[in-house]
Structure formats: structure tokens, C-alpha cells
Structure 1
Amino acid sequence: MLQEGRPAADAVAEREALGRVAHALRHYQFGAGWEAARWERNLKLLSERHRALVPRLADKIAEARQCIYRNHLFLSALLDMFEEESGYCPPHLAPANAAADEHEARVGGGAGVTPGDHDKVRYVFKNAARDWSEEGAAEREQSYGRIVRELARLFASWPAGAADPPSVLVPGCGLGRLCLEIVNLGLRCQGNEFSYFMLLASAYLLNGVERELQWTIHPWVHSSCNQLSSEDQLRGVQVPDVHPAELVPAPGLLSMSAGDFAEVYSSPEYAGSFDAVACCFFLDTAHNVLEYLEVIYACLKPGGYFVNLGPLLYHWADAHSYLPGEELSIELSLEEVKAAALQIGFRLIRDELVEASFLDNQRSMMRGSTYRCAFWTMQKPAGSAAAATPVALAEEAAPRQPGPAPP
């Protein structure tokens, strides 16, 4: 998050990071095209006898190139939204194309994109399928659905259409679908995201698309292993499955912040700001999960709720294998995480283990992205004993029906 008064060196570093990401999105077709060229080279190395056994392989590779081109068109439209003089996109993202030009002048064209950044571009397509396609609905139900129903239950007594509805923070909000589902309850929601890949893509999907099913993307075209059929690998999904505006019952309910969660929300201005914090596959992104717990506690209002769903994959645990030097990574068991949260001051009022998938290819021969997730609700004690009484775990309340969507 760019903030006034920060050192100029920070602003320069952030512009460089934004440019690197936009440059990678711009040159997606170069990296994906290299993979298709590798398939073609290997096909030519086969003997005539072996090529005769796979007569459609050349056609499949040609079709894959068309899928890659359609993905490229989606990213091109996405990047067209970001111009420094534009008033249509978030100001901190507006310089994306100019910053990409600067980055390209330093490193060259597509050859200057790192393999890691090529992978993160492909990750955008998988996330778009998860958050904004009909195919992703079943996976969303396993995680987003549970969280949204829990929030609806916790705030069921709040008057529908109240002038000051409860506020929910969603750190690590990715492409924003969970935020929109929360807003669709009539609650206020602020999403927070650190990755420029996610920030650029979510800004376009939330603000730039013109209609539902506007784009067909091919999230699995790059994956040639464990495919049951060529059709499965090349299949397209249409996004968005619903126009985001249809999920917003009133203006002013949704806001977004960019930046490192712990850095942004440890600021005194956010102390006691939110009625709930909802984390989905987020806690284990921390270098230090204990810091995350403290920041969540601090930014909750007294009596506020901490709803969490996710595993403990600990993203930085093996960073030493691909980054120079070592990164801080505190890896605790689920039992240790919950015990620490209780010592910080939380009360545990719901505690389950549930199964949920994350970016799982439903048609793959390898189904390796389903986790036994911790699903809990904790509460920050209120100022009085009466107000601190936890909500009873009875029936889950149905979400309130929102009013008509804005045009």
C-alpha cells in the first residue's frame, strides 16, 4: 500500500514490483508459447511409427496455442484498464503499464520474465476459475460457503438494511469473490491483498468487466500431466459467472486495501475497527502466525469475531530451497496455534475439522489439493460480561436477502 510520508525508496521499490508483475502478465504468451513449442519439438523427435500412434497430437498442440491466445486476450484487456491518467482504476495500480515499460527497458521482453513469475501468471487463471466460474462453485461452497453462513449466523440479529451494518475484514482476499459474497449479506467488507498479480486481476474483474460470461479462459491448458483426456486439458471456463455488481446490494459496502496484512493493520488507526475478521486459506501465509493472531485481535472491536478456515501449509517453510538465504517461518501445530490464540485473549466458540479443496482440477487424475481444514470461530471478549456471551451454536441462520442490485 502506497502511503504518504513513506520513504521515497519504498515507493520506488513498489513501482518496480508493480512493473515486474505487469510485465509478466504482458508476456504470458511468450512463456506459455515456449511450453507449446517444447511439445512440438518433442513430437518431431518421435519416429514415424510412434507419430502414427498419436495422430491427433499435432492438432491438440495447435488447439492449445489457440487456448493460450484466448488467455492472452483476457490479460491484454485486463492491462488496458491501467493508465496513470485514468480515474477508473485504483490509484496505486494505475501506473502498471508505465511501470511495465520501465521494467521491460531494464530486462528485455518475455525472456526477462522469471519462471516463478510465469507460474504466478498461470495461477491467476486458476484463481479466476475458482472465484468467478460456475466450475469453481463446488469448491467455493466448501470454504466461502461455510464462512458466509457462519457470518450470517453471527449477525442474524442485526437489522437488515441498517445504516451502519457490521464490518468484516478479509485478509488475503485474492480475486475478491468472498468479499462480494459477504457484501451480498448486507454487511460491509474490506478486502486486503498483498500480491500484485491478485490486485491487478481483481481490480479488473470487480471494476472492468462489462457483463457476465464475458471471457472464456483455459486454466488447465499448461498442465499436460495427469490428464484424463485432451478435452479436459483444453477445456474453457467462462468468467465471471455473475456480474460483480449483482452481488452488491448498496453502494459503500465494499472497499479494498493493498499491502502486507500485518504491516497495514497493526497501525493504530485500525485498532478496534472491525466486527469480524474472516480468513480463508490465509493464516499459513504468515512468516509468523503469532503476529497474525495478535494483529487480528487488535483490529477487532470488543465482542468481534475471528472466523477462520484453512490448513497449515506454511508457505515459507521451504523458502530456503528456492530463495537465497533463509526466511523466517514459524511452523506450529493446530493445537499450538489455537492455544496461542486463547492466550492472546480469544474465546473459542466453534471448532471443527472440515474438508475443503483449493485450486483443485476436478478432472485431473491427481486430486492432491483437498485439505482437512481448521474451521473455527473465536471471539474477542466484550467490555461487559453480558455483551461477551458467545453466540449459541444452534441452527445456522440463512443469509438475509439483499435488496436490488445497482444498475
Structure 2
Amino acid sequence: MDETAKEWEGDFDPMADPEEQKHLLSVLDSFRSYRRLAHFNGTHVRRQAFYSLPQEHWMLLSKPPFSILDTFSNLDDLIDSNAELAEAIFIAGFKAFLAPTVDSEWVASIVPEKYTHNEYHIYSTVMDHLKVQTSQTDMEKARSCVNQFYREWSAEGVVERSKCFDPVVAALEDEYRSRTKLAPNLDRSELKVLVPGAGLGRLVYDVCRAGFSVEGNEISYHQLMASALILNHTQNVGQFKIAPFALSCSNHISRSDQFQTFQVPDVHPGSALSSVGKSKIPGHERMSMSTGDFCVLYSQAEYSEVFDAVATVFFVDTAPNIIRYIESVRNCLKPGGIWINLGPLLWHHTSRKESESDDSEEKDLKRAKVADAGIGDPGSVELTNEEVLALVQHFGFTMEEQECKTYETGYISNPRSMLQNTYRPSFWIARKK
């Protein structure tokens, strides 16, 4: 995936629909606005509240050992550090999606001469002239996306990754070894893997590094832009410094815990994927990403019986109707192919009255103007793990392995926090009959 235009595959064109274009611009602006909004909500509002205390109180807290004003200054520095990553995502996303559609002469006419060699300011000027309206939901997603780099692309995030990604790669290794008993010369690249809900792309990368051919799929522009930056445009290991816990001021034992910083990425994907590794084919030729609704894309005839394995991690509970996911997995898996799943059942779409629905979320679900609305279809249901397993088997799968409570993991968790949220995800392997 060397060229920006080839980073996402499929026939989905976000600029062809006015509503979709509006949503895309909102996502771009959410990354561009990260710095300003984080400073406002992270320190400006807190400074106002601090100075609203009785004078003798805030004066006391301004001195050591408290030094709250110094804390605010440190927080401002960390926000700027996070913002460098957010703005890099904005630039990469703008170049991939918006730049090909804007008139270069018009851009030249609106950009001040002093900014002609500054990509961020050029693109930001264009955004200003487009009068973009950014949703609150998209701004929150941008903040969450920056924090997610800790989980997927920092060395310290390996604690969570090893619990969630390693079992998947191990299952693929077992499947490969099993198949080589019948076909000793089988190259790893011949095992084709699909990763729906690819997020920031780390599992896709790990599967590729293991030698297999892999395709990631993602519907979220936030995730797509961020994964494209890290997989295609980073220059070196540790290029960005992030402080994922800085903007949360609760449950910290010490300020040093709150202000922990981490370098991302912990590997340079470009260098790693240029090598052959465990396969006869270089990594960059074995890895691809697609954008769009998983249900819509992979239920189509062109994807019928294409993949040897589907790997879903923290994904199936994003389905309002999990039967749609099961049908899509069944369609795109070859007979005898395996579905590897690891994740909890924190159902994302509980039943709500139409008047209570979030406009931005509704737009996220109606990504493409097609007859099949995919996860945008009406209705939702929340099932237990036993019911999910029964459904998978009902639709033509044989359950070969299933475990629950064996794996314990957090999700972008601060190990030093006084509050620890732990998942005990279900892990299972099902084979298509």
C-alpha cells in the first residue's frame, strides 16, 4: 500500500454523496480541532474553576507540593504533543480523501503566501473556507482515536495486545500447520485472512507479519485515517509522543501517573512490510484495507468463498443484528474455513426510540446509499454468549474451540489507575461446514 490513492479498496466514493461528504469533513475537522478543543476543555475550563475557589485555597494549592498551576502548564504541553499526532492524521486524511477533489487554482487563491509550503495551514485554510460543521460525537471520537494508539502502537500496549491479538495469530498458525499436513509446500501467503473492524490496523499488521495474506475492513473514517497514517506515512519508530491518560483527571495516585507518555509507533510498519518474512511474498503485497460496511461489502457475490479465515476481535458486539454479521462471515469464508473470535458482548446499539437516536451515530450507520443498509438496518437485539454460539452453529458452523473467562484484558487501561476495568472476553473458533 505505497500510494495514497490505493490505501483503501472498494468502489465506495465518499465525495459522491452530499451527506457523506459532510460527515467526512466533520471527521477531518475533528482531528484538526483537537488542539484547540483539548486546551479549552482540558485546561482553560479547569483554570477557570480553580480560580473560582476561595483565594486562600487556590493560593495554597498553587504552591508545592501541590503546584496545580504547574500541572495545568504540563497538561498544555502534553495536549500539544497529542495534537501533533491528531494533525498528522488530519493531513493524511485530507490528502487521501479531499485533496483530489479541490481545485488547485482556487486553493492557491485563498492560501496566504506565508503558508504555501505548510501542508497543515494550506489544508486548514481550505477547511475554514468550506465552513465545516463538526459534530460533538466526531470530536469525542478523535480524542478516543488518539488514545487508542497506546493500545495498538506503543511498546507498553503489548500487555493488552498480547491478550487479544496473540490468540488469533496462534490460531492461524495452528490452522496453517494443519493444512501443511495435506499440502507440505503450502506458502503462508496462500492463507487469506479477513479482519473486520480493523481499527488502527495493528492486528492486520500482526497477521501480515506472520506471513499470511490479510485484508482489513473498517467503516470508521477516524480509524481509517489513523491506520493509514501509521501504516503508510510514518517515517520512523517513536515518531509521535502521546499522553493517553492526561486529559482524564480522576483516579490518579500521582501526577506522574496521569502524565505518562508513550512513543508511537513501536515498530516501523513500512520497513517491516517491505521484507518477505515468513512468506515468499513481501508483506506490502499481502496486506490491504477496505472501507465500508462489513455487512454490505462481504455479503456480495464477488466476496463469496474468498477467505480461509475471518478474525474478529472486539467486533461482534458492534452489530445491532448479529445475524447480519454471521451471514456475511459465512458468505465470504471458503468451505472448511475458520472464524476466530475474541471479544466481550458490550452491545453498542441498544433499542432506543427514534427520537432519542444520535444524529451523528445514525449517519455513521448509513454510510452508503444502497438498498442494503447493512448495520444501518432497523432493529437490534442483545444476546448472551451462549445464544451467540448457538446462532453461529445454527448458520452452518462447527464450534471447534470455545473459552470464556480464560483471557482477561483492559481496553486502553492505565495500569496505575485506582479504577481498573477488566474484560473477560469470549474466545472461540468455528469452522464453516
- 1:366 counterpart = 2:419: yes
Measure, in 2, the Cα distance between the counterparts of 1:148 and 1:261. 21
- Matched with 2:143 is 122
- Matched with 1:302 is 335
- Matched with 2:17 is 11
Partner of 1:116: helix, strand, or coil? helix
- 1:237 counterpart = 2:259: no
Following superposition, the deviation at residue 186 of structure 1 comes to: 0.6
When residues 129 and 95 of structure 1 are mapped into structure 2, their CA distance, relative to the original with a 3 A threshold, is: farther
- 1:80 counterpart = 2:91: yes
Following superposition, the deviation at residue 61 of structure 1 comes to: 0.5
Following superposition, the deviation at residue 29 of structure 1 comes to: 1.3
TM-score, normalised to structure 2, is 0.79
- Matched with 1:311 is 344
1:323 to 350, 354, 358: 358
When residues 146 and 161 of structure 1 are mapped into structure 2, their CA distance, relative to the original with a 3 A threshold, is: same
Counterpart contact for 1:20–1:103, Cα < 8 Å: no
1:222 to 235, 247, 254: 247
Q: What count of residue pairs does the alignment treat as equivalent?
A: 371
| Letter of the 1:34 counterpart | F
What is the CA deviation profile of residues 202-259 of structure 1, one whole-angstrom value per residue up to 9, with x for unaligned ones?
0000001001011101111211111222112222110001111354331311000001
Counterpart contact for 1:133–1:238, Cα < 8 Å: yes
Following superposition, the deviation at residue 330 of structure 1 comes to: 1.4
When residues 183 and 220 of structure 1 are mapped into structure 2, their CA distance, relative to the original with a 3 A threshold, is: same
- Matched with 2:399 is 348
216-225 vs 10-19, greater mean Cα deviation = 10-19
| Letter of the 2:358 counterpart | L
Measure, in 1, the Cα distance between the counterparts of 2:392 and 2:158. 32
Following superposition, the deviation at residue 81 of structure 1 comes to: 3.0
Listed as ranges, the matches of 1:144-293 within 5 Å are 144-157=165-178, 158=180, 162=187, 164-248=189-273, 249=277, 250=282, 251-293=284-326
Measure, in 2, the Cα distance between the counterparts of 1:116 and 1:277. 30
- 1:62 counterpart = 2:73: yes
| Letter of the 1:71 counterpart | N
| Unaligned runs of at least 5 residues, structure 2 | 1-7, 103-119, 363-376
- Matched with 1:402 is none
Measure, in 1, the Cα distance between the counterparts of 2:14 and 2:243. 40
- Matched with 2:3 is none
Measure, in 2, the Cα distance between the counterparts of 1:172 and 1:144. 13
| Unaligned runs of at least 5 residues, structure 1 | 382-407
What is the CA deviation profile of residues 100-119 of structure 1, one whole-angstrom value per residue up to 9, with x for unaligned ones?
877654656xxx53332221
Over the matched positions of the two proteins, sequence identity in percent amounts to 33
Partner of 1:31: helix, strand, or coil? helix
Following superposition, the deviation at residue 51 of structure 1 comes to: 1.8
TM-score, normalised to structure 1, is 0.84
- 1:334 counterpart = 2:341: no
Partner of 1:360: helix, strand, or coil? coil
- Matched with 1:51 is 58
What is the CA deviation profile of residues 252-309 of structure 1, one whole-angstrom value per residue up to 9, with x for unaligned ones?
1100000111011111100000000000000000111011011101100011000000
Counterpart contact for 2:194–2:214, Cα < 8 Å: yes
Measure, in 2, the Cα distance between the counterparts of 1:365 and 1:143. 23
When residues 160 and 183 of structure 1 are mapped into structure 2, their CA distance, relative to the original with a 3 A threshold, is: farther
Following superposition, the deviation at residue 147 of structure 1 comes to: 1.0
Partner of 1:155: helix, strand, or coil? helix
Counterpart contact for 2:334–2:432, Cα < 8 Å: yes
Measure, in 2, the Cα distance between the counterparts of 1:316 and 1:139. 25
Measure, in 1, the Cα distance between the counterparts of 2:290 and 2:259. 35
- Matched with 2:46 is 39
What is the CA deviation profile of residues 6-34 of structure 1, one whole-angstrom value per residue up to 9, with x for unaligned ones?
79996333322211100111011121111
Following superposition, the deviation at residue 73 of structure 1 comes to: 1.6
Following superposition, the deviation at residue 377 of structure 1 comes to: 0.1
Measure, in 2, the Cα distance between the counterparts of 1:237 and 1:318. 38
Partner of 1:212: helix, strand, or coil? coil
Measure, in 2, the Cα distance between the counterparts of 1:25 and 1:7. 21
Measure, in 2, the Cα distance between the counterparts of 1:259 and 1:217. 29
Measure, in 1, the Cα distance between the counterparts of 2:343 and 2:100. 33
- Matched with 1:143 is 164
Counterpart contact for 1:167–1:189, Cα < 8 Å: yes
26-35 vs 155-164, greater mean Cα deviation = 155-164
Measure, in 2, the Cα distance between the counterparts of 1:120 and 1:315. 15
Measure, in 2, the Cα distance between the counterparts of 1:8 and 1:208. 22
